[in-house]
Amino acid sequence: MEAETCRKELVIEIPVEELRRESETVTAQYRRVARIPGFRPGHAPASIVRRHFRNDIRNEVVQSLLPKFFETAVKDQKFSVVGQPHFEDLKFDEDKPLICKATFEVVPEFELKEYQGLEAEEAPATITGADVDKALEELREHAATFEVVQDRPAREQDYVTVNYQGRDRRAPEAPPLDVKDAIVHLGGKGTVAAFTEHLQGAKPGEVRAFEVTYREDYPQKSLAGKTFGYHVEVQSIKQKVVPPLDDDLAKSASEFATLAELREKLRENLQELRKRQVRMGAQQKLVESLLKAHQFPVPQVLVESQLDRKLDKMLAQLLAQGIDPRDTQVDWRKIREEARPEAEKEVAASLLLGRIAAAEKIEVSEKEVDEIIRALAQERRETPAALKTRLTEDGELDRLKSTRRNQKALDFVYHNAKITRKSEEGPARVANDPGQGL
């Protein structure tokens, strides 16, 4: 293994007799279907078939034997290979062994040090009345309705439905932006300031004309740095009406009959969420401690896969917001490289927790997997059977199992750690002492 990497090299040698045996097998397959002038299919001599399809036969022999001999070689060396090997320096001469160099990455070997009795500090899992008030306010906002305004012109915070046409002042011959039934939230986050300024005071049926000069780093590339002239026709005006904080809100927005019951349920939910958050925070500190104690290289093929997942998640978030990633001025290569150190830590943590799971004989049952799939299927609005089939076909089912196994290993580390839980009133107290058998 090269210093500070998981890269390895092996020279693969395939004996002449194995090459001849496989060559005869492949030649026989070609002979059955080959069309050679002067011979009926299946009747051409093997020597002629070999001469006509020499390169094709050699390629198939290599593709058939090389992976098998590579697999045998890594098993003999007890390597745990990740990703696909890269074969180079192939030497394949008549009546000589085939020789090839295989380059690949392996799961690193490292000494598993102490992972029980680690220390970490945990923040207090406190929920205040202000937290509950904030949750109630968010519920009110979610329950808000939009009423048509007829007795006044548009003002800030109104939602104005418009049809508009925009033309690039520097390229008047270019096709215009032509948008119907767009909703503009005056003064809202993300609304271009010029639209808020020029649409205030407008009434349905009115037309407003104005220009917008977009900054050079504007997220939508097609507009960045350009000046557009807009012709905007107001269709309607709506105002957001937030319901009062009372029993009627509780009845319409939940299964509870009174505001007091709803408030209590929100407090319970927030408390449970806060407990999970502080636990995750403590677990992250334990992972940091484990990584500090275990220094080892990580396979770059796993790091690249982790980076792919990170970027896929970012792209999905943009698409969910209605943003076409192609219209943004995001330097995806830069973002990928900036995310690399974190991805390397995540891969190292995964390998480390996997070793702890193996040491503690932690496994994931099929019942657990089915429960996870049911929850995911409900979230994604598809049947568990269809999701499980897709995950299996995509090779994601094993990763799901591995993720769950690692989480169970982290839970084990947490339950056997010395967690200092901060108290808001007085000194800290210690819990989760390994001697307590938690």
Q: Which residue segments constitute the domains of the chain, with CATH numbers given?
A: 7-106 (3.30.70.1050), 119-125+257-436 (1.10.3120), 145-241 (3.10.50.40)
Q: Which long-range contacts (CB under 8 A, 24 or more apart) does 242-246 make?
A: 242/140, 242/141, 242/143, 242/144, 243/140, 243/143, 243/144, 243/145, 245/136, 245/140
Strand partners, 233: 163, 207
How far apart are alpha carbons 164 and 212 in whole angstroms?
A: 13
CB 390 within 8 A of CB 400: no
Cα separations (Å) of 63 from 22, 71, 106, 225, 329?
A: 11, 13, 22, 54, 43
Asked which of 66-70, 191-195, 324-328, 330-334 is least confident by mean pLDDT, the reply is: 324-328
- Higher pLDDT: 55 or 352? It is 352
Please write the tens of the pLDDT for every residue from 358-381: 999 999 999 999 999 999 999 888
Beta carbons within 10 angstroms of residue 112's beta carbon: 13
| Under 8 Å between Cβ of 14 and 65 | yes
When pLDDT is averaged across residues 213-224 and rounded to a whole number, the result is: 88
Q: Which residues contact 174 (CB under 8 A, 6 or more apart)?
A: 167, 168
pLDDT at position 193 over 70 = yes
Instruction: Give percent above pLDDT 70 in the chain.
Output: 96
Q: What is the pLDDT of residues 7-65, one digit of tens each?
A: 999 999 999 999 999 999 999 888 888 888 888 777 788 888 888 888 899 999 999 99
Which residues make beta-bridge pairs with 419?
120, 431
DSSP H helix total and E strand total for the chain: 12, 11
**Structure confidence at residue 394 as a pLDDT band (50, 70, 90):** confident
CA-nearest of 20, 141, 19 to 69 is 19
Contact 216, 107 (CB under 8 A): no
pLDDT tens readout for residues 76-97: 999 999 999 999 999 988 889 9
The whole-angstrom separation of Cα 287 and Cα 183 is 47
Helix axes 259-293, 332-359, angle to 10 degrees: 80
Q: Given a cut of 60, is residue 3 above it in pLDDT? A: no
pLDDT at 435: 36
CA distances from 35 to 39, 40, 182, 364 (A): 7, 7, 65, 54
| The pLDDT value given to residue 426 | 47
Average pLDDT of the chain, as a whole number: 90
Residue 395 has pLDDT above 60, yes or no: yes
Is residue 158 within 8 Å of 134, Cβ to Cβ? no
Residue of 291, 302, 292, 303 lying closest to 339 (CA atoms): 303
Return d(Cα 223, Cα 174) in angstroms, integer: 13
pLDDT over threshold 70, residue 209: yes
Question: Which pLDDT score is estimated for 115?
Answer: 96
Q: Secondary structure of 15-83 in the HEC alphabet?
A: CHHHHHHHHHHHHHHHHHHCCCCCCCCCCCCHHHHHHHCHHHHHHHHHHHHHHHHHHHHHHHHCCCEEE
Distance CA 91, CA 102 (A): 13
| pLDDT on residue 190 | 86
Distance CA 32, CA 17 (A): 23
Name beta bridge partners: 99. Answer: 13, 91
User: Mean pLDDT across the stretch 337-347?
Assistant: 96
Residue type, 278: V
pLDDT reported for residue 19: 93
End-to-end CA distance of the chain: 41
Q: How much is the pLDDT for 220?
A: 83
> What gap in Å lies between CA 191 and CA 206, rounded to an integer?
20
User: Which pLDDT belongs to residue 363?
Assistant: 95
- Mean pLDDT to the nearest integer, 185-191: 92
Backbone angles phi, psi at 316, to 5 degrees: -65, -40
Q: How far apart are CA 168 and CA 229, in angstroms?
A: 7
Candidates 264, 245, 268, 153; CA nearest to 206 is 153
Cα–Cα nearest to 57, from 35, 79, 29: 29
pLDDT of 18 reads 93
Would you state the pLDDT for residue 432? 56
Q: One-letter amino acid identity for 368?
A: E
- Mean pLDDT over residues 83-112, rounded? 92
Distance CA 246, CA 260 (A): 9
pLDDT in tens, 281-310: 999 999 999 999 999 999 999 999 999 999
- Tokens encoding 78: 């007890």
pLDDT of 127 > 90? The answer is yes
Q: What is the mean pLDDT of residues 220-230?
A: 91
